[in-house]
Copies of this chain bind each other. A is one copy, B any other.
Amino acid sequence: MSQAEGNGGAGARFLAEVREQPAALRRLLEHDAEIARIASAIGERDLRLIRMVGHGSSDNAASYGIYAFGLLPRRTAMRDSITLSVHYGTPVDMSGSAVIGLSQSGRTPDVVEYVKGARAAGAFTVAITNDPSSELAGEAETTIPLAAEPEQAVAATKTYLNTLAALALLAGHLAGRGAELADGIRRTSELIEGAIPGLERSTAKLALPFSYTGRMFVIGRGVEFSTAREIALKLLETCRVAAEPLTATDLAHGPVAALDPLFPVWAIASNDGTLDTVQEAATRTREMGATLVASGTAAERIKGAAYTVPVPSPDPALLSPLVSVVPGQLFAGALARARGLDPDAPHGLAKVTLVN
């Protein structure tokens, strides 16, 4: 049953790409000097607002960017509305804004169009993409290559992790802490490498009791909200589970009422100022009789979890989401196989999404 045995079968590419993530992170670090130059350009122009746009995993990474830019250079970053400028044609005041277009393929049509319009309106535009020859890279003033090498499974893994790392590195350089972040990413890549074999075993065991699960919530807060969004997306696309990401606090504002013993919750806990909110959400989850999986760097501090999937803590802690998403990726791969699905090629999806 172990996914580790899956060489060439369903999910082989997906699993291979999860395992490649540490090496992919180190390849990104080869572009550190380019990223430092882009940070300098943003710093020199004193751009105070960072507007990020993307869909799917790229948009999930943007949720992380809000914290990377907020915590390191203390700049306000937002997931901007694509619709406002692209579909409604509304002029947006781009003075003082840096724009980051996020697309693994570099071909997401409305992201390309948004970046083109933002550049024409005077924004400093950066593409973060795995294809530096893509349309998106062509429209942006400058590009950070993800350097993840081709990703063949439809569900993104290594491009997601490298997008997080690229945002952290850019934010680090903007804060004058680029070297610290680059070192942190290198050490984090080693942490992930060391953790993967154990996580493959624990998530393979975890998949079996969840074989018939149709609904899940994935909760996190702060830096780990991106992780909650990304794990939920992996479960949706590879396992056909109706998995919804929620902040630990929003769970209590209505959705908690839907929980029952067949509606489990995956909670991501960190040793930071959000821990009490995740603990409180865990308590509410148990009160509703729902099965709780506790993960993240502070998994052990969640009481009453049916299953605990801890991950090691990177330094700086801002890099935790690079690690805490990995058990979710591996769980999704194992659960897909347990349900007879192929995580490499989910039904109804293509690798490049050209929907506008």
Q: Tell me if B276 and A356 are in contact (CB < 8 A).
A: yes
- Give Cα distance in the complex from A221 to B272, angstroms: 34
Question: Looking at the complex, which one of B221, B233, B238, B281 makes contact with A83 (CB distance below 8 Å)?
Answer: B221
User: Which B residues touch A348, using CB under 8 A?
Assistant: 256-257, 259, 284, 287-288
A333-356 with Cβ < 8 A to chain B: 346-349, 353, 355-356
Question: Looking at the complex, which one of B57, B80, B84, B252 makes contact with A67 (CB distance below 8 Å)?
Answer: B84
Q: Tell me if A277 and B356 are in contact (CB < 8 A).
A: yes
Interchain nearest-CB distance for A91 vs B (Å): 6
A272-290 with Cβ < 8 A to chain B: 272-274, 276-277, 280-281, 284, 287-288
Contact with B along A56-81 (1 / 0, CB 8 A): 11010000001100110011101011
Q: Tell me if A87 and B233 are in contact (CB < 8 A).
A: no
- Give Cα distance in the complex from A259 to B348, angstroms: 9
A286-340 with Cβ < 8 A to chain B: 287-288
Q: Tell me if B356 and A254 are in contact (CB < 8 A).
A: no
Task: Name the interface size band of chain A.
Answer: 35 or more
A8, CB-defined interface residue at 8 Å: no
Q: Tell me if A257 and B277 are in contact (CB < 8 A).
A: no
Q: Tell me if A70 and B90 are in contact (CB < 8 A).
A: yes
A193, CB-defined interface residue at 8 Å: no
Instruction: Give 22 pairs: A residue, B residue, CB < 8 Å, sorted on A.
Output: A48-B93, A57-B254, A66-B84, A70-B81, A70-B84, A76-B92, A83-B222, A83-B225, A84-B222, A87-B277, A89-B273, A155-B254, A214-B215, A214-B242, A236-B257, A242-B244, A242-B258, A242-B263, A253-B355, A277-B356, A280-B355, A284-B355
